[in-house]
Amino acid sequence: MGIVSFLLFGLVAGLVARAVTPGRQAIGCLATIAVGIVGALIGGLIGQVVLGHKVHASWSLGPFLLAVAGAVVLLLALEALAGSRSSRRWW
C-alpha cells in the first residue's frame, strides 16, 4: 500500500469511526486521518491477538473493519480522557 493510499485509508476509516461513535468529535481532517491510521494500527494489533495471524493492510473488508474498530476504540479513549480532564475543578 503506497503512502497516499495509506493516508486515504486512514481518512476513510477515521470518517466511518467518527460516524458510528456516539457524541461529537470536534476534530479536523488531519486529526481524522491520524485517528484512522492509529486506529488501523490498533485494529491490526487486535486482529493479531484475536485472530492469531498477521493482518495485512489492504483495501479489503476485514482489515478495513479492524481499522474502523481500532479507530472507534481510540475515539472513545480520547473522549474519556478529555471528559475526565474537563470534569476536574481547580477552584
Structure confidence by residue, pLDDT tens digits, 34-61:
888 898 888 888 888 887 777 676 778 8
Question: Residue 16 has what pLDDT?
Answer: 92
The whole-model pTM stands at: 0.79
Considering only residues 64 and 26, tell me which one the structure prediction assigns the higher pLDDT: 64
Q: Which residues contact 60 (CB under 8 A, 6 or more apart)?
A: none
Confidence of residue 84 (pLDDT cuts 50, 70, 90): low
CA 13 to chain centre: 7
